[in-house]
A and B are shown apart, each in its own frame.
Chain A
Amino acid sequence: MATAVPPKGTGPLARREARLAWSLLAPTLFSVAMVILLPLMAIFWISFKPIGLADLRPPIPVVREQLRGSPEAPGDAATIEYRLRNSSQEEEIRGVTLSDIWPPGVTVTGDLPEACSLTGTEFFCDFGDIDPKYNDRFRIDVEFGQAFFDWGGDPEESEPVVTGTATNVLTNATFTMENFARIFDGSEFWFVFGVTLTYTIFGTIGALVVGLFAAMLLNQDFRGQGVLRGLYLFPYVAPVIAVAFTWVTLFDPTSGSINELLQRMGVTEGGINFFGQRPLALIMVIVFEIWRYFPLSFLFILARLQAIDGDMYEAADMDGASPFQKFWYLSLPMLLGILSILFLLRFIWTFNKFDDIFLLTGGNAGTRTLTVNVYEQAFAVANIGAGAAVAVVVFLCLLVFSVFFFRFISREEGL
């Protein structure tokens, strides 16, 4: 008799379940692949390309048609003029053709250009390749017969159609290391990198410490606790654009309330340019970061604090522990897990942060971080390739952080 053994491998039911799972996940996977992963890969490609902002419009042949002379009776002569040019100053365009429908009753009296032919009312030219900066006119003398006037339409009504292909800088096989050479050139890169690290480290730790303080405050029962908790979340919930501009207005060197206040209090003589001078601008940007993101830390820490069992504190009271001892030996160790998670998450997010600094200082006065530098290179300097090269550096840094993330966090919280 055969002995009963547990089934091996995957049965049909399990396979069906897996299929269903993947089909439920498919929309998510597809959209993430298209919008996140594909651009991530593209950024590596672009970073090796000599591409500027102007190259985004590919070179195209441009044609203009014009009728010179105004035919009024059968037998009148006129000239049809086509003006063809290459929109690019550098790239040639291959296989350029022009086709147009002529009105009826038009006969050619002069010579047709070599490349062109007229069959019935269909006018067609094949110009082959045209050079960069190409710009030429073709004039064709014609005569208008009775059929044209019977037709009675507008002779310029049908638009000429041109075709032609040009090599696109993005898809051709020219690569360059110039982008990387450019961003690593000189001491600027290391300055930007240093600013980024300073901003990230102090911003993260500051937001955590202030958040911890706020959480300890609100971890007691009193009337109005809910109101205060809601209030302290305001900086995080409000749109960044609103609060950033408010800070800029508040700290304006000439008409800002804070400067006015400081002057009235006799702290300073003239107005301080908070967001315009080194190193104050960097400090202010960090302070803004702490102000805006302490609510996030405090929310998580408060949730963890309220989950701590009260018995432990009672036991500590029996043993005669003082309030600070209870904080140091009980609360803090219990919070260590959430604190380290918050630190890593906030560290990465602060590293990625673009909006805040961009809106506050625009990356001036020694506050240019890597992410702001991506924008500066790509759009202010109009060199997309260099911007992409900085983006690659940002991405590689994050890859390193993610390794840390997996090493520590997944063990900590079992994600």
Chain B
Amino acid sequence: MHTIRKGAVIAPVIGLLWLLVIATTVAVAMSFATGAAFRPGLAGSVLIGAGIGYGALRLPNRWLLAAAAAVASFVLTLIGAGAVLVGEGVSILSILIASLLLGIGVGLPLASMLGGHPAGEMTRHEFEEVVIGFLTGFGYVFFTAIVIIPFYVMVMTSLKSQQALLGNPLDFTIDLSQGWGLFRSYAELFRDFHFGTYLWTSFFVSVLTVFITLLFSVPGAYAVARLRFRGRAAFSRSILLIYMVPMIVVVLPIYIVYSMTGLRNTLFGLVLIYPVTTIPVALYMLQGYFRGLPAEVEEAGLMDGLSRLQVIWKITMPLSLPALASVSLYVFMIAWNEFLLAFMLLDDPSKFTLTRGVAMLNSSEVPRQHLMAGAVIATVPIMVLFLGLEKFMTRGLTAGSVKG
């Protein structure tokens, strides 16, 4: 066990493992970027990885390490034994780029993982730090890859033409000379598939859902948080149980009733249901927040002659704007992304929400790039909202709710 903790043993092993990670990443990235054949090579990875790993213990300069890795990779790839192997007809330039990426991806992280550690016996701390360093690096690469690849493919597929997609499914290079022609799938969706209407319908339904949810859950949350009544504890405990009820169970009777009363295929019917699926969780989130507000401010308001409802409107709501914002965002997201109810209750293409509209595109008659363009249209607004408000939310929640 102790021999394995020698730096001279650990470093090449870590180097080798890390090289496999980076070689695979570079190969996948280059394949997706150029559409040419790249694959990781075992022999080259062992050679470069072990070498750079051992070198990291000795060489103080990380850029030197990166350069060494890049040069080694370039030379080995050219003679056909590199960490990244290429197929026929791959240009020297892309091999150079791949080698550079590999060099940087290998040299810098390995230097910070292994640099400064002894070549001889390592302490347990040092050993574990090296392992954790490797796992951390692996984690970043892994998570970033699994999150980015699907979204990258989604966007790029929507910009391609049918022939290009069938010809080489890996080729995601974009022909910029087409100009606006790149967006022809989007143009067709908006022109022939009423996606403008769907976008508006989804927006309308989601905003209305947020509004109704707040209208119902703010007074309810206030009652649970502030007022004393019998059954309060049981109520606040069981409210989340509603959230455990599977929608598919509830939707069957709703479908029957809607079919019989003619509420199916109406947005009114949809807006009747959507808020109820979000009210319990909104109520739960808000009551937790209301509890944290100082009751003294509200009592002062009561003393000054406000009624309870006025207290909620004039004191509690302004104080809990950050919470209201995050609840609204959450509810909007649920309503915007909702698929099951829209799918079951809407058959009429003129009344579709965006998610229902995208589901309609999933047929053999509609080309793939249209489906992906629909997916992008459904994703972009919620992403913009999320990225924009994430900052606002964290700032608001930390900036102290007690303003007196």
A 227-243 to B, binary, CB cutoff 8 A, 1 in contact else 0: 01011111101111111
Q: Within 8 Å of chain A (Cβ to Cβ): is B71?
A: no
Query: When A246-B154, A395-B249 are in contact, do A32 and B279 touch as well, CB less than 8 Å?
Result: yes
B249 adjacent to A245 (CB under 8 Å): no
Q: Give every chain A residue within 8 A of B168 (Cβ-Cβ).
A: 260
Give CA–CA (A13, B378) in the complex, Å.
Answer: 52
Residues B146-173 near A (CB distance < 8 A): 146-151, 153-154, 157, 165-166, 168-170, 172
Q: Are B31 and A415 in contact (CB under 8 A)?
A: no
A391 within 8 A of partner (CB): yes
**Is there an interface contact between B169 and A21, defined as CB atoms closer than 8 Å?**
no
> Is A265 interfacial (CB 8 A cutoff)?
yes
| Contacting residues, chain B, for A402 (C-beta < 8 A) | 241, 244
- Given A46-B253, A246-B153, A247-B150, A239 and B378 touching (CB < 8 A)? yes
A231→B227 contact, CB < 8 A: no
Further contacts, 6 of them, CB under 8 A, given A32-B279, A232-B143: A25-B220, A27-B215, A31-B275, A31-B276, A249-B154, A257-B153
Shortest CB-to-CB span from A56 to chain B, Å, is 5
Q: Of the listed stretches B45-53, B185-193, B331-339, name the one at the interface; the rest are far from the partner chain.
A: B331-339
Q: Which residues of A contact B251 (CB under 8 A)?
A: 39
Could you say which interface size class chain B belongs to? 35 or more
B169 lies within 8 A of A241 (CB) = no
Contacts of B236 in A (CB 8 A): 415
Give the chain B neighbours of A391 by CB distance below 8 A: 248-249, 252
Q: Contact string, B207-227, partner A, CB cutoff 8 A, digits 1/0?
A: 000000001110110111001
Say yes or no: is A43 at the interface (Cβ < 8 Å to chain B): yes
- Measured between beta carbons, the chain B residues less than 8 angstroms from A42 are 253, 256
Residues of A within 8 A of B345 (CB): none
- Decide if B124 touches A322 in the complex (CB within 8 Å): yes
Q: How far is the CB of A25 from chain B (nearest CB, A)?
A: 5
Contact digits for B340-374, partner A, Cβ 8 Å, 1 yes 0 no: 10000000000000110011001000001001101
Residue B27, interface by CB 8 Å: yes
Q: Are A241 and B375 in contact (CB under 8 A)?
A: yes
Closest 8 CB pairs of A and B: A242-B375, A352-B246, A18-B229, A39-B253, A265-B39, A21-B227, A24-B223, A24-B219
Q: Does A255 contact B (CB under 8 A)?
A: yes
Shortest B206–chain A CB gap in Å is 11
Chain A contact residues, CB within 8 Å of chain B: 14, 17-18, 20-22, 24-25, 27-28, 31-32, 34-36, 38-40, 42-43, 46, 56-58, 170, 213-214, 216-217, 228, 230-235, 237-243, 245-247, 249-250, 252, 255-257, 259-261, 264-266, 291, 322-324, 348-349, 351-352, 354-355, 359, 371, 374-375, 378, 384, 387-388, 391, 394-395, 398, 401-402, 405-406, 410, 415
In the complex, what's the smallest C-beta–C-beta distance from B177 to chain A, in angstroms? 23
A-B contact pairs, 5 of them (CB 8 A): A20-B223, A25-B224, A35-B273, A216-B139, A349-B244
Cα-based distance from A349 to B222 in the complex (angstroms): 27
Q: Which of A238, A261, A375, A384 contacts B382 (CB 8 A)?
A: A238
**Chain A min CB distance to B15 (Å):** 20
When the two chains form the complex, which single residue of B154, B169, B245, B358 contacts A260, counting CB atoms closer than 8 Å?
Answer: B169
Contact B252 A28 (CB under 8 A): no
User: Could you say which of B27, B337, B355 has the most chain A C-beta atoms within 10 Å of its C-beta?
Assistant: B337
Q: Is the CB of B387 within 8 A of A230?
A: yes
Q: What's the least CB distance linking B60 to chain A, in Å?
A: 22
B283 near A28 with CB under 8 A, answer yes
CA distance A245 to B367 in the complex (A): 13
B163 CB → nearest A CB, Å = 11
Contact stretch, chosen from B3-11, B94-102, B128-136: B128-136
Given known pairs A238-B382, A352-B244, the reply for A35 and B254 (CB within 8 Å) is: yes
Q: Contact check, B170 vs A21: say whether CB atoms are below 8 A apart.
A: no
Q: Are A241 and B339 CB-contacts (below 8 A) given A35-B273, A35-B276?
A: yes
- Cβ of B259 and Cβ of A56 under 8 Å apart? yes
How many angstroms between the C-alpha atoms of A392 and B235 in the bound complex? Answer: 25
Q: Are B246 and A354 in contact (CB under 8 A)?
A: yes
- The answer to whether A371 and B375 touch across the interface, beta carbons within 8 angstroms, is no
A401: B residues at CB distance < 8 A? 244
Complex CA gap A374/B144 in Å reads 36
Q: B386 at interface (Cβ–Cβ under 8 A)?
A: yes
Contact A352 B247 (CB under 8 A): yes
Contact B37 A322 (CB under 8 A): no
Q: Which of B128, B242, B283 is the one whose CB lies under 8 Å from A323?
A: B128
CA distance A57 to B258 in the complex (A): 11
**B337–A232 contact, CB under 8 A?**
no
State whether A25 touches B223 (Cβ < 8 A).
yes
